[in-house]
Amino acid sequence: MSKVEFFLEAKPDKSYSGFTNETGPAFERNSDRGAGTRYQLAAYVGGIMASQFRTHCFVVETCADQARLLRYDHGGATVTTSFSVLEESHLVEFFARYDKASPTARGHDSSVERLKPGTANDGRIKETREKLGMESDDPVYRFRVKDEFSSTMHVFYGAKVIVKASPCPHGRSTRGFIAIDGKGNHRFLKDTWRVDLKALDTEGSVYRILHGLKEGLGTDLSISDRRVPHIPTVVASGDVEGPNQKTTKKELWSVKEGNERLYQHYYLVLEEIGKPLDQFEDQFEWISAMADALEAHQKACEIHKISHRDVSVGNILIYDGGGLLIDWEFSKCMILETARQAERTGTWQFMSARLLLATAGEDVPHLMADDLESFFHVLCWVALKHAEHLLSDLEVVKMLRAIFDEVFYMPGRTLGGTGKVDALGALKMKRNGKFNAGPVKDLIIDLEQIFQVRYIETPSEEDLRTVEAIQSVGGIIDAEDENLTDALRWRKRQARLEHAWIFGRFRLVVEKFRRCCLPPPKRVPRENLLNEANRAYTPSHAFKLKRSSDMLSQNESVPQRELRSKRRRFS
C-alpha cells in the first residue's frame, strides 16, 4: 500500500457495482453486493492514504464492459456515471492524463518532501535517523508548517510514527510523528484534517487561549493566572496551504442530504513528547498523570469556561513525573448554547453513558459532568487492563466489551451506554472488579458511587427538603427510614460530582503513594494474554454492531431502558 498510485477493481457485472447512474442519494446501489464493493474500495483507499502522504486518491471500478472513475479525499468520494470501455475513450484518456500529471495532481501531499540520498541532504538524513532511532533505510521527510499566528515557516524532519492513522479514507485521519526541528530538538508533529467550520476554533487557537496568550474569558487576570497547567506547549500550528489541502465541495446531486462536511489539512507541532497513559511504570505514575490532567480540565473550565469534550486514555499523557491533557480540538466554550456539529463528541469507550444513550433528534448538551465521568471510565479501563486484581483474562475481556465497547443501532443513530448504566447501577467495579486492596481500589469505589447518582432514580423533592431541614438544625436521619436515608446519600454524592472533590480524591491517592514506605504496585502487562482471551471469547453477540432488538426487550425503546435502570435504589 505504501507505493500504490491508484488501483482498478474489476467486477463480473454491474450488479456488483457500488453505484448506479441515478441522481440524488439513490446513486449508491442499495444491495449487499453494492455495499460490499463500496466497503472494499474504501478499505483499499484507506490503506493507501494511511500509509502515504496523500490528499486524494483515484480509483477505477469496472463491471464487465462498464467502468466509472472515483476520486476519494478526506471528505468523501466523487463518482462519475458509468461508461462503456468499448465505445468510449474515457478510460484511456484517464490513464494518459494520469501518466503526465504532477505528483500533486495525482494526490501526493505537496507539504511533505522526501529527502533523497546522494544529495546535499545527506547530512540532514543521517542526523534525523540517528536522533530518532530510525533504521538506515527508513525514509526521511521534510515537513513545512506555516504558523497561523506569526506566519513564520517552520521546517521539521522525520518522521517516526507513534500515532497511526485510521484506515478509513474519510474524516480527520489523524496521525502523529516524532520529528526534529532545524536545531535537532525533538518535537511531536500532529498531522490531521480538521473539520472546516467557522464555529470551530483551530486547536492551536485553543492552546493560545489556555496558555493565556489570546483573549478569552479570563483576560481580566494576569497571563500567569490565566495559564492552564499540564497542557503541552505549541511550537507551530496552521492550515496547510496549496492545492488539494481542503476537501472538495461536492455537487448537491452527489451528496446525501446533511452528510457533507469539509476538511482542512492542518499541522500542530508540540514541544513535549509524552508517554501513553496505559504504559505507566507503577500506579503512582498512572494516578499522578490523571490527577494533572484533571487539574488542567478544572482550570480550563474555571478560568476560560472551556470544556475538553474528548477525555480518553489516548488524550492523557505521562510526562516529566506528571501528566498532560492533550487534543483540545473538540473543546467548546461552556457558555455557548448552540451545537456546532450534529454528532456527539468524544471517544466511544470513554464517553458518558448519558451521551451514548442519546437518540437521534434529542437535544442532549455535553455537560462538564460528562467529561468528569469520562475520567472515571479511563480510570476503570486502565485498571481492568493493568492494575492488580484476581479477574481471569476472559473475565476482563467480558467486562471491557460489556461496559466500554457496547454498540448497537437505532434508526438514524448509533447507540451505546446501557452497559455503563448497568455497571454503575450495580457498582460492578466494587463488586466484580476483584481489585487488590489499596489506594486505587478505594478511589475506584468512591468515584463509582459518585457517578452512580447520574443513573439512579432521583429522590422526591419532599424527601430532599426533609433531609435539608433535618440537617439544618443538626438533626439525625432515622436509619430505618429508607427513603430519607437514600435522599441523604444521594444529596451527599450529588454535591461531590464536581471538579474540586474528584481532583482532591485523586491527589489524596498520589499523597498516599508518596508517603508510603513501600513502593507502589507495578503495571501488570496483560496485552498478550488479553489478546488471546479476546480471540477465544467470540460469542455471536460479541463486539458487533447490534440492532436495538439485540440489546433491548421486545418493543422497548432506549429511553425506557434507561428509565428502568434509574428505578434502582442505591446498591
pLDDT, tens only, 205-248: 999 999 998 766 556 677 778 899 999 999 999 999 999 999 98
Assign 563 a pLDDT band (cuts: 50, 70, 90).
Answer: very low
Query: Could you check whether the bond before residue 179 is cis, i.e. omega within 30 degrees of 0?
Result: no
**Mean pLDDT, range 43-61, rounded to an integer:** 96
**Spans of all domains in the chain:** 7-105, 112-270, 275-454+497-566
pLDDT at residue 252, rounded to an integer: 46
pLDDT at residue 375, rounded to an integer: 99
- Residue 418, sorted as left (phi over 0), alpha (psi -120 to 50) or beta, turns out to be alpha
Q: What digits encode the pLDDT tens for the residues 177-197? A: 999 999 999 999 999 999 998
pLDDT at residue 551, rounded to an integer: 33
Alpha helices in 229-317 (DSSP H): 283-304
Nearest CA among 188, 193, 426 for reference residue 326: 188
The CATH architecture to which 112-270 belongs is 2-Layer Sandwich (3.30)
Assign 552 a pLDDT band (cuts: 50, 70, 90).
Answer: very low
The helix/strand count (H/E) of the chain reads as 18, 20
What is the layout of strands, in order, in the sheet containing 316-319?
275-276, 316-319, 322-325
99/377 Cα distance (integer angstroms): 52
What radius of gyration, in Å, describes the C-alpha atoms of the chain?
Answer: 27
Nearest CA among 247, 272, 74, 265 for reference residue 166: 74
184/131 Cα distance (integer angstroms): 8
Nearest CA among 178, 182, 157, 134 for reference residue 272: 178
CB contact at 8 A, 497 and 453: yes
Question: Which helix or strand (DSSP H or E) is residue 180 part of?
Answer: strand 175-181
pLDDT over 90 (residue 368)? yes
Q: 3-state SS of 137-169? A: CCCCEEEEEECCCCCCEEEEEEEEEEECCCCCC
Question: Which helix or strand (DSSP H or E) is residue 208 part of?
Answer: helix 203-210
Alpha helices in 387-460 (DSSP H): 393-403, 418-425, 428-432, 439-452
**Mean pLDDT, range 124-145, rounded to an integer:** 95
Please list, in sequence order, all residues whose beta carbon lies within 8 angstroms of the beta carbon of residue 320, skipping any fewer than 6 positions away.
Answer: 272
pLDDT at residue 337, rounded to an integer: 54
Q: Could you tell me the CATH superfamily of domain 275-454+497-566?
A: Transferase(Phosphotransferase) domain 1 (1.10.510.10)
Kindly state the cell numbers that stand for 356: 451514548
Kindly state the cell numbers that stand for 253: 446531486
**Mean pLDDT, range 126-154, rounded to an integer:** 96
CB contact at 8 A, 422 and 428: yes
Question: Which helix or strand (DSSP H or E) is residue 9 part of?
Answer: strand 7-11
Output the pTM of the full model: 0.89
Question: Which helix or strand (DSSP H or E) is residue 179 part of?
Answer: strand 175-181
213/101 Cα distance (integer angstroms): 44
Q: What digits encode the pLDDT tens for the residues 405-455? A: 999 887 777 889 999 999 999 999 999 999 999 999 999 999 999 999 999
Share of the chain above pLDDT 70, in %: 88
pLDDT at residue 369, rounded to an integer: 97
244/104 Cα distance (integer angstroms): 8
Kindly state the cell numbers that stand for 417: 451506554
**Mean pLDDT, range 123-131, rounded to an integer:** 96
Question: What mean pLDDT value characterizes the chain?
Answer: 88
DSSP-derived secondary structure letter, 328: -
55/250 Cα distance (integer angstroms): 16
| Residue 318 CB burial class (10 angstroms; 0-12, 13-18, ≥19) | buried
pLDDT at residue 221, rounded to an integer: 72
> What amino acid is encoded at 502 in this protein?
I
pLDDT at residue 39, rounded to an integer: 95
83/378 Cα distance (integer angstroms): 52
Please list, in sequence order, all residues whose beta carbon lies within 8 angstroms of the beta carbon of residue 57, skipping any fewer than 6 positions away.
Answer: 6, 45, 48, 49, 71, 72, 73, 107, 169
Kindly state the cell numbers that stand for 377: 471510565
